[in-house]
């Protein structure tokens, strides 16, 4: 019952307190009796152990930092694509979706190419948008309801052939559509901040169970999350009672 989370470039991708996802992941894994090892990769020149990783996590960052990370990951593109094709999980949160985009369109600075894996574009917004975010999704075989917040520096623009990850109940989602985030195999992008694993521990628990089953282990029981479940219900009731301006 072992799992390895590789946390990529937290010093560069450091917005919105999303480092809390790592602490929440370790707590949830502990509740499930799983030995979760977290490996930080801080230096762009440091090697990435794709074959030994079960989940790669990328937090939100400034748009100006992504070309450095894209250039770095291009050097390991074969290993990265092999990891994705083998079903390895990647979570790119908030603006870090830019890393896997076809193109990142900027307003006052030059646009640039992403890794081109996700089949979507990202477009910088003239003004950031912030609000609560509630949607349904299926991170690992079971439909879940997820709540968080969205601070939208970019519009996520899925293209033909891009699978939308979630279906919006409240919030902005992908550029005022009813979709939220994208998915290619187990490469998942989502606008959800909060942090995601703190407010929705079942999200990480589902992924962890799926990882263990893929490794031949028996899926551990899903813990009860009474405080988070009550919080989700309260947030949903409050937001759906408001008159939406979207």
Q: What percent of the chain has pLDDT over 70?
A: 98
Structure tokens, 117: 């894996």
Contacts of 69 (CB under 8 A, 6+ apart): 8, 9, 12, 13, 44, 61, 99
pLDDT score of 242: 81
As beta bridge partners, residue 58 has: 92
Q: Are 6 and 39 in contact (CB under 8 A)?
A: yes
pLDDT score of 246: 47
Q: Given the structure tokens 């950031």, which residue do they identify?
A: 128
CA dist., res. 235 & res. 233, Å (int): 6
H-helix segments, 144-225: 196-199, 201-214
pLDDT score of 1: 86
Q: What is the CA radius of gyration of the chain?
A: 17
pLDDT by residue for the chain (246 residues), tens only, comes to: 899 999 999 999 999 888 899 999 999 999 999 999 999 999 999 999 999 999 999 999 999 999 999 999 999 999 999 999 999 999 999 999 999 999 999 999 999 999 999 999 999 999 988 999 999 999 999 999 999 999 989 999 999 989 999 999 999 999 989 999 999 999 999 999 999 999 999 999 999 999 999 999 999 999 999 999 999 999 999 998 885 554
pLDDT score of 243: 54
pLDDT per residue as tens digits for the range 153-185? 999 999 998 999 999 999 999 998 999 999 999
Contacts of 233 (CB under 8 A, 6+ apart): none
């Amino acid at each position: 019952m072992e799992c390895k989370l590789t946390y990529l470039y937290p010093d560069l991708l450091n917005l919105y307190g999303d480092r809390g996802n790592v602490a929440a992941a370790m707590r949830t894994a502990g509740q499930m009796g799983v030995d979760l090892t977290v490996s930080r990769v801080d230096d762009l020149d440091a090697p990435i152990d794709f074959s030994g990783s079960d989940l790669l996590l990328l937090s939100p960052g400034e748009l100006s930092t992504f070309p450095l990370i894209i250039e770095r990951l291009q050097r390991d593109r074969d290993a990265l694509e092999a990891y994705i094709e083998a079903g390895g999980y990647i979570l790119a949160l908030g603006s870090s979706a830019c890393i896997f985009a076809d193109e990142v369109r900027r307003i006052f600075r030059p646009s640039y190419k992403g890794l081109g894996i996700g089949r979507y574009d990202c477009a910088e917004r003239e003004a950031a948008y912030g609000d609560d975010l509630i949607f349904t999704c299926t991170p690992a075989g079971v439909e879940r309801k997820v709540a968080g917040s969205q601070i939208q520096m970019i519009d996520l623009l899925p293209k033909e052939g891009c699978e939308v990850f979630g279906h919006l109940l409240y919030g902005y989602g992908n550029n005022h559509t009813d979709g939220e985030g994208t998915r290619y195999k187990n490469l998942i992008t989502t606008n959800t901040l909060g942090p995601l694993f703190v407010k929705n521990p079942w999200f990480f628990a589902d992924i962890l169970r799926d990882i263990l089953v893929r490794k031949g282990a028996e899926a551990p029981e899903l813990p009860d999350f009474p405080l988070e479940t009550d919080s989700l219900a309260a947030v949903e009731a409050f937001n759906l009672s408001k008159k939406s301006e979207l």
